[in-house]
Every structure is written in C-alpha cells, then in structure tokens.
C-alpha cells in the first residue's frame, strides 16, 4: 500500500479565500490522518499567471471561487489537462454563473437555509458545523480513492449505486448513506450535476441506471425544494427508473429475498439490479408528497423493480450493506465458476404439498441429472414465501407445476403467477413450462396452458418423461 499521500490544493493568488484555503488544507490533512494513519503532505498552491505542471502522483483539489472562475475562463487549454480529473471544492457561494459547477461534481462548504448562506467556521462547533465536518470526512474518503485505499470495512469494489437526488430535508441522511458506501469502495452515481431541464434528461438518467446494481430513492417531506421551482426530482427519478427497469434486460432481483439462491449459485447473470425506496418512519410529508407516497404504495408500475422500505436510517443502512454483500459474493462466484454450463439449469417445482412420492422421485431424478432444483417449503412468513416464489419465477430456466390435488383455485393462482412473471421482472422466456397432473384438467385452462407440456401421471407419457431424466 502507498505510504505517502501528496495533495495539491489550488487557489488564486490574492483571492479573498486565501486564509480559508490555509485552514481548509490544515483540517483536511487532520481528518485524513485520522483515517489513513500514514504520511500526508498537503500543499496549498496559489496560482499567479498559469497552472503549474500537474504531478500525476499527487491528488489535485481546486478551490472554485469567483476569482478561480475568472482565471479559468482566461485559460482556453486547461480543460485538456489532468486537472479536470481533480476534486472540486466550493468554499463560498459563487456570485456569477459559470460552466464549471454544471460540468463537475463539487463539495460545497457552505449551507443554504431559508435562502441564507451559512459559511463554515473552522473555529466553532454546533449542529451546522457538524454537517461541514461530515463533509470533510466525505472528501477525505474521496481523496483516498485515488490511492486505492482500503480500510477495515468490507470492500464492495466494482459495485455501483445510483443514490437519487432528494429534497433538502433529507440531504443529511443521503450524505450519511453516501459516506458509508464510499467508505466501502462503492461507486456512487450521479457523479456530475444533473441538468433537470435538459431535453436529454431521460437519456442521462438511463445511462446512469445502466451502470448500477442498486438504485436508492430517498423520499423527503416535500415534492420539491423552493430552489427547484416546478422540478420534482424525486418523482422524475422514480418514474424514469421504473420505466428503465421495465424495458431493460437487467435481471431484477431482490437480493435479500433471494439470498439463499445466491449462496447456492443458481444465478448466472452479472447484469442484475434492484431498487429501494426509503422513507423515514418520522417523516411528516406535506399534502403533495403524501399524495405521491400513497400512489407509490398503490401503483405497482411506479414501484416496478423496487421495494418500499420505512425503517430507521440505521436499519435501512444495514439492508443496503447486506444487499451489496450478497451482490458482491454472487459476482465473486460468477467470476470463479463456470455457471453457464447447460447442466446447471435451474428448475423450479411448484406444488401445493411437497409430501408426495411421485414428486420426491421427480426432484431426486432432476438433481441426479445435474439440474439445480428449488422448491418452497413451509418455513418463513407468507410474505417471505411470496417473495421467494416471485424471485424463483424470475430466475428459473424451467418451471414445473405439480398438480397433485383437486384444488382448482390453487392451480388457477399459480398459472396466473407464471403468466405474470414478466411483470415480476423476468426478461426472458422459460425454456420449458411443464404441468404434471394426477387428473384430467377442465377445458377452462386451455388458454392458460397453451405453451405448457402437459403430462398426466397415469398416462404412458409420464413414464417416458421419467425415462428421459434417468437417461440424461
């Protein structure tokens, strides 16, 4: 591991933020040392006429003040330099519009409360400055990503989370969650400011979703902030995420519900993703936001590929970390095992009762033939079993519906679930759909069974089916 970290912090000579930059340099080093515990050298460089030559071994931080904006505007060639890959910090609100805050993500070291700007005071404590100190920690971990730093926390490198923009009443919760994910090596999107009024907004968000394993929406008390005008960021991101997941080829899978499946290596697709929509149990939404939340609860289309979670933040954090752990373990397995082998087909047996001699024989023969077989037993709550059922319908290659009773309502329900599996998130056709029954079926099922192989246990074709398995 690298033992020396060099950081170059750039401001403009004679800028009014010069002393702020000195304090910033001192405290950034202080925070990094508490995390890294190796040598850190921080250089506060005041630019006079030109940017000094960039040292690729150093991490660059640009203090974007009004004076720095004017300086960069005069330098036509600086965008072609390595400085564009540096970290941007805005010490104070900028008085003029500029192209840089739209092009690069920046850490703001001031806060806006009721249209009043509050600066970071290095000498004071209190609630406001606690927020800024946490921002220092975010920045410190960002700096350390440049040297491939890893701490004692479990690392999920290679995983990407889209952490949706939210309203200002939830900004601190978003930053807490972001801090936890960055500390674990997760790539966080969006990594650049979003142009909410762009004609290409949908394209931009879809490009982010394409890269993600997990999309996290955080619902606030309002539909929008005053500064956003009529733009409803929360609703826009949720709508486009639902639309994207519905149309994409990603395998939509709730990692918590399907954990047992991952451990047993039944997934052979790295292109999997899921969404969480989180709201605090203490949330007091205004009328508009309350209406939106109620719609989310009722409208499956708005929650497509997602789960709505209302828990304390600490519990939600553990759910997110557990989900990433499952994805992480899955990807490790996929990278070290040839799971695409045809003999590893996943067969999902659906039966009203697993206590049946013929069914037990079928399951045993499928396992002997090299298939991965899954059933749902009576353990767990009804909700857990329903989640498991839907996930298995999403994931399996072959579905076998074993009808060993006269319960027509049960059969009708399972046939409808199979028909609705695309709505659950399945993005490919079943390789085989098989119905095994111990009695003749009513003509009412003709349409539902159009593409099923129907095998009656009392007919010769059942014996042929068994022989095929035995000779596989």
Q: Are residues 347 and 320 in the same domain?
A: no
The domain that holds 118 is classified in CATH as: 3.40.50
Q: What pLDDT shows up at residue 341?
A: 46
Q: How confident is the model over 215-274, as pLDDT tens digits?
A: 999 998 887 765 666 678 889 999 999 999 888 766 676 666 555 444 434 444 456 788
Specify the number of domains making up the chain.
3
Q: How confident is the model at residue 276 (pLDDT cuts 50, 70, 90)?
A: very high
* For residue 18, pLDDT beyond 60: yes
Question: For the whole prediction, is pTM greater than 0.85?
Answer: no
Q: Are residues 160 and 123 in the same domain?
A: no
Q: Are residues 144 and 175 in the same domain?
A: no
Which of the listed residues 322, 339, 356 is the one where a domain comes to its end?
339
Q: Are residues 168 and 27 in the same domain?
A: no
Helix (H, G, I), strand (E, B) or coil at 392: helix
Selection from 128, 107, 130 nearest residue 117 by Cα: 128
Q: How confident is the model over 306-356, as pLDDT tens digits?
A: 888 888 888 888 888 888 877 777 666 554 444 444 456 788 899 888 888
Q: How confident is the model over 60-74, as pLDDT tens digits?
A: 888 988 888 888 888
Beta-bridged to residue 187, according to DSSP, are 160
Q: What is the domain range of residue 458?
A: 342-470
Which of the listed residues 83, 115, 149 is the one where a domain comes to its end?
149
Most confident residue range from 124-128, 170-174, 230-234: 170-174
Between 374 and 229, name the one with better pLDDT: 374
Q: How confident is the model over 28-45, as pLDDT tens digits?
A: 888 888 777 788 899 998
Which of the listed residues 339, 374, 391 is the one where a domain comes to its end?
339
Selection from 187, 178, 183, 182 nearest residue 159 by Cα: 187
Give the separation between CA 472 and CA 464, rounded to whole angstroms.
12
Lowest mean pLDDT among 179-183, 246-250, 279-283: 246-250
Q: How confident is the model at residue 470 (pLDDT cuts 50, 70, 90)?
A: low
CA angle 111/277/137 to nearest 5° reads 35
* For residue 283, pLDDT beyond 50: yes
Q: Are residues 365 and 349 in the same domain?
A: yes
Between 127 and 283, name the one with better pLDDT: 283
């Amino acid at each position: 591991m690298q033992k020396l970290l060099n950081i170059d912090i750039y401001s403009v000579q004679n800028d009014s933020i010069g002393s702020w930059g000195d304090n910033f340099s001192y405290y950034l080093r202080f925070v990094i040392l508490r995390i890294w515990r190796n040598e850190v050298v921080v250089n506060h460089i005041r630019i006079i006429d030109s940017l000094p030559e960039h040292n690729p071994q150093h991490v660059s931080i640009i203090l974007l003040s009004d004076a720095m904006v004017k300086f960069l505007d005069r330098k036509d060639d600086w965008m072609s330099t390595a400085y564009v890959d540096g970290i941007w910090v805005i010490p104070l609100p900028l008085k003029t519009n500029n192209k840089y805050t739209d092009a690069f993500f920046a850490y703001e070291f001031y806060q806006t409360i009721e249209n009043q700007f509050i600066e970071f005071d290095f000498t004071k404590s209190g609630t406001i400055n606690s927020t800024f100190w946490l921002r220092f920690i975010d920045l410190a971990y960002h700096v350390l990503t440049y040297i491939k730093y890893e701490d004692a926390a479990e690392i999920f490198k290679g995983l990407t989370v889209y952490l949706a923009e939210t309203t200002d009443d939830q900004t601190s919760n978003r930053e807490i969650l972001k801090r936890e994910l960055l500390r674990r090596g997760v790539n966080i999107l969006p990594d650049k400011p979003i142009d909410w009024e762009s004609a290409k907004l949908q394209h931009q968000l879809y490009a982010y979703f394409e890269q993600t394993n997990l999309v996290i929406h955080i619902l606030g008390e309002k539909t929008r902030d005053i500064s956003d005008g009529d733009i409803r960021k929360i609703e826009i991101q949720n709508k486009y995420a639902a639309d994207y997941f519905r149309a994409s080829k990603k395998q939509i899978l709730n990692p918590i519900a399907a954990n047992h499946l991952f451990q047993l290596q039944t997934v052979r697709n790295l292109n999997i993703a899921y969404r969480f929509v989180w709201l605090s149990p203490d949330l007091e939404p205004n009328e508009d936001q309350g209406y939106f939340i109620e719609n989310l609860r009722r409208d499956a289309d708005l929650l497509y590929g997602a789960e709505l979670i209302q828990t304390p933040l600490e519990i939600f954090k553990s759910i997110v970390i557990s989900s990433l752990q499952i994805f992480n373990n899955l990807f490790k397995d996929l990278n070290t095992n040839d799971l695409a082998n045809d003999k590893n087909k996943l067969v999902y047996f659906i039966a009203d009762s697993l206590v049946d001699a013929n069914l037990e024989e079928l399951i045993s023969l499928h396992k002997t033939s090299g298939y991965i077989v899954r059933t749902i037993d009576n353990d767990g709550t009804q909700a857990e079993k329903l989640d498991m059922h839907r996930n298995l319908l999403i994931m399996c290659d072959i579905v076998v519906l074993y009808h060993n009773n006269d319960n027509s309502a049960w059969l009708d329900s399972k046939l409808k679930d199979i028909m609705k599996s695309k709505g659950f998130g399945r993005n490919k056709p079943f390789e085989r759909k098989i119905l095994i029954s111990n009695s003749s079926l009513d003509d009412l099922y003709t349409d539902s069974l159009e593409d099923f192989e129907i095998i009656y246990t009392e007919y010769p074709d059942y014996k042929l089916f068994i022989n095929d398995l035995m000779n596989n």
